Structure 1
Amino acid sequence: MREHCGLTVADAGKEFGADRTRISNIEAGRIGISAERLRTLANIYACPDPECVDALARMTEERGKGWWEEYRETLSAGALDLAELEHHAVRLTVLQVVYIPGLLQTEEYARSLFGQTVPELSPMDVQRRVSFRMQRKRVIERDPATPCTFVIHEAALRMLFPGAEGQRRQLERLAEMGDHDAISVRIIPFAAGAFPGANSSLTYAAGPVPKLDTVSLDTAHGSVPLDAESHLENYRSILLRTIKTSLAPKESRDFIHKIAKQL
């Protein structure tokens, strides 16, 4: 908002009655802000989007109250940010090429993945991460569940991280979750050939208004959030095209069962 109206941090601080450091800290999320003061800033910036301002104001009431806060001292900020992003999203679209999406993983599968981490994790650290991943599932287990679309490549179905038997159990769980009213599981088979985003693993979290959408990229160094409109537009296009490339939900369930029988 500030940049759009052409104010510098110093100018904004002067109008707001605070120094530039406080404005910078608010914008970076290092300190909180009340709904009232947020609306004051929006008024200073002459924001023409009341729905966006209302959505931001609602967010000020929820800061620091999530279940993920119990992991604040033991897991990375990126992991906590992803859980918070999933919790507040009004809709999630996930693309995974090599792994089963975290929200659909069995505990056995997740434990096997964390056992492959470099550098190697201690048993306690593995358990902590597994526990955290299982708790992230609240978004699809609560009532009402967050609507989710999971686009998964066939490669992820065939990677035997927990071994053949463990992978079969994972695929059975995946097919079962595809029957959930709020969940759509779509498979991209090898036969579909090349597709946009083949080198990406990501979560697109839709906010209460499009300006508050966020993409979280899954990288070797953790989750990386992107929220610039140019990035959002690119990933919306990628996801739309990958969904068109994928099998329909019923065909996807049949495909998952077929591979499970081959293991």
Structure 2
Amino acid sequence: MSNGSTLPRRALGRQLRKLRERAGLTQSAASRVAEISPQSYGRIEDGRVTKVMDLGLNALANVYNASDSERRLLLDLAQEIRASSPSGSGWWRAYDDAIAKGFDHYLALEEAANWVTSWQTAVVPGLLQTREYRRALTWATVPDSSPDETERILDVVMRRQDLLQRDDFRFEALLTEAVLGYGVGGSAVMEGQIKHLIERSEDSSVEIRIVPSEQDIPYGLNAGSFVLFSFPPLPTSKLQEPPVAYMEGLSGGLYMERASEVDKYSQEAQRIRHVALSASASRDLMLQVAKEQ
């Protein structure tokens, strides 16, 4: 895995929290058992980067009265963490200067996912943007960036799109028709962007569906734009990592992992699919809009 162990770390944290709470112990008590600081133990349960030793996990399994299968799962997840990314980094570490604070977590989720659904009401999602379209957006959102800084930001966006070449990756873009109508960068840039969407829609890994403006039922509009990440089972433990929902705002992104929260976005995505045009009808609409540019 190239995701810097994001998924197995989160899975290990959830499993330890479940066992600890079942045993009725505090994090401070658990940290003493594992012979690490309370802060370090807290980071483990939060799924953050912290050294995880089998000796400490076995000690915790003992005091938690874990079953053999529960102990094996803890050790398997720890092994996944060690094997997944020895350097603890992803390709985006080379672009730290061009990535907004906290966005590295988004990139790790995107890289680890095998299915991403993006519902966008105003802009083309990053995985489908042309360089010129993204440049216009960047000039508007980061007006003080130098030309070199802007190009670095664009390099990150283009590098992310390598995901679309992966055999095990599927990207579903659900867009309002308004996304095609905004004049980002001018008519020439929009014409190029829409033609790019049409080309990408022919890829087996990409599905683009448009919700027409005349749609009577405004599914998705109240929810705002969001992204859903779904993941394959972890290779060793076979644990199925639950999906994650993401919403972006001016002050930063919001990640939702609770099943009750994610289910709301999954259900909203399903409602949006019901009112969206088919992939072929969406392609016809994009061809029509491109001719009008």
TM-score, normalised by the number of residues in structure 1: 0.87
Q: Report 1:38-53 matches (<5 A).
A: 40=58, 43=61, 46=66
2:18 is aligned with 1:4: yes
> What's 1:227 paired with?
257
Q: Distance in 1 between matches of 2:111 and 2:55?
A: 25
Q: Distance in 2 between matches of 1:61 and 1:241?
A: 39
> What's 1:58 paired with?
80
More divergent stretch after superposition (169-178 vs 185-194): 185-194
C-alpha change, 1:246 and 1:132, in structure 2 (3 Å) is same
SS in 1 for 2:51: coil
Q: Distance in 2 between matches of 1:123 and 1:248?
A: 40
CA deviations on 1:202-221 (whole Å, 9 max, x unpaired) are: 22111235543211212123
C-alpha change, 1:247 and 1:132, in structure 2 (3 Å) is same
Structure 2: which amino acid aligns with 1:26? I
Q: Distance in 1 between matches of 2:36 and 2:100?
A: 31
CA deviations on 1:159-218 (whole Å, 9 max, x unpaired) are: 110211110111111011111111111111111134333142222111235543211212
8 Å CA contact 1:104, 1:174 repeated in 2: yes
2:216 is aligned with 1:196: no
2:284 paired residue among 251, 254, 259: 254
Q: Where in structure 1 are there 5+ consecutive unaligned residues?
A: none
The alpha-carbon deviation at position 236 of structure 1 amounts to 0.8
Q: Report 1:114-153 matches (<5 A).
A: 114-117=138-141, 120-142=144-166, 144-153=167-176
Q: Where in structure 2 are there 5+ consecutive unaligned residues?
A: 1-14, 234-239
Q: Distance in 2 between matches of 1:42 and 1:254?
A: 59
> What's 1:31 paired with?
49
> What's 2:271 paired with?
241
C-alpha change, 1:112 and 1:31, in structure 2 (3 Å) is same
2:91 is aligned with 1:67: yes
8 Å CA contact 2:244, 2:257 repeated in 1: yes
Identity %: 24
Equivalent pairs counted in the alignment come to: 262
2:177 is aligned with 1:177: no
SS in 2 for 1:225: strand
Structure 1: which amino acid aligns with 2:93? E
Structure 1: which amino acid aligns with 2:83? E
SS in 2 for 1:71: helix
More divergent stretch after superposition (238-247 vs 122-131): 122-131
The alpha-carbon deviation at position 39 of structure 1 amounts to 6.1
SS in 2 for 1:135: helix
Q: Distance in 2 between matches of 1:72 and 1:224?
A: 20
Structure 2: which amino acid aligns with 1:76? A
C-alpha change, 1:193 and 1:120, in structure 2 (3 Å) is farther
Q: Distance in 2 between matches of 1:218 and 1:12?
A: 35
8 Å CA contact 1:197, 1:238 repeated in 2: yes
8 Å CA contact 1:187, 1:246 repeated in 2: yes
C-alpha change, 1:154 and 1:43, in structure 2 (3 Å) is farther
The alpha-carbon deviation at position 154 of structure 1 amounts to 0.5
8 Å CA contact 1:55, 1:208 repeated in 2: no
Q: Distance in 1 between matches of 2:264 and 2:112?
A: 22
C-alpha change, 1:172 and 1:119, in structure 2 (3 Å) is closer
2:37 paired residue among 10, 15, 19: 19
What value does the CA root-mean-square deviation take over the aligned residues?
Answer: 2.7
Structure 1: which amino acid aligns with 2:127? L
TM-score, normalised by the number of residues in structure 2: 0.79
Structure 1: which amino acid aligns with 2:288? K
Q: Distance in 2 between matches of 1:96 and 1:42?
A: 44
Q: Report 1:72-111 matches (<5 A).
A: 72-111=96-135
Structure 2: which amino acid aligns with 1:4? K
> What's 2:242 paired with?
212
More divergent stretch after superposition (12-21 vs 250-259): 12-21
C-alpha change, 1:262 and 1:74, in structure 2 (3 Å) is closer
